[in-house]
């Protein structure tokens, strides 16, 4: 059996991201419900973003559309509420467009996906 000291010395990757408050959870749920009401696919809650080469987890995303909001036609997108800059860098490097608040996500959906002009 491996000694505990050896286990503690191993480098364990730090996985960023989690939903911290009920308010944040409500915002995420309502954002997904709004997207679905616009005829878009369900987002994936607490989506685990993994390194494509190693398969190791990189981050837990609040809400993600890994196939895009229009699968096959648009890039993957994620909603990151109250996440550190490192999280933004990880998703950006992984090819995702990210939004730091629900309002900017909705504006993007209306402008780029639904092709509606928002004022």
Q: What is the pLDDT of residues 85-114, one digit of tens each?
A: 999 999 999 999 999 999 999 999 999 999
The answer on pLDDT for 33 being more than 50 is yes
Tell me the DSSP string of 40-96.
PPPPEEEEEEE-TTT--EEEEEEEEETTTTTTTTS--EEE-SS--HHHHHHHHHTT-
- State the pLDDT confidence band at 119, using cuts at 50, 70 and 90: very low
Check: pTM over 0.85? Answer yes or no. Answer: no
Q: What is the chain's mean pLDDT, rounded?
A: 84
Asked whether residue 4 carries a pLDDT value surpassing 50, the answer given is no
Domain residue ranges of the chain, discontinuous segments joined by +: 12-113
Q: What is the mean pLDDT of residues 53-59?
A: 89
């Amino acid at each position: 059996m491996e000694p505990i000291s050896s286990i503690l010395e191993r480098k364990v990757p730090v996985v960023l991201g989690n939903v911290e408050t009920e308010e944040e959870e409500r915002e995420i749920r309502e954002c997904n419900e709004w997207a679905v009401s616009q005829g878009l696919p369900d987002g994936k809650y607490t989506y685990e973003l993994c390194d494509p080469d190693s398969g190791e987890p990189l981050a837990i995303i609040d809400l993600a559309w890994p196939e895009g909001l229009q699968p096959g036609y648009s890039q993957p997108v994620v909603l990151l509420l109250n996440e550190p800059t490192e999280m933004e860098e990880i998703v950006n490097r992984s090819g995702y467009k990210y939004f730091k608040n629900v309002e900017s996500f909705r504006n993007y959906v209306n402008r780029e996906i639904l092709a509606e002009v928002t004022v």
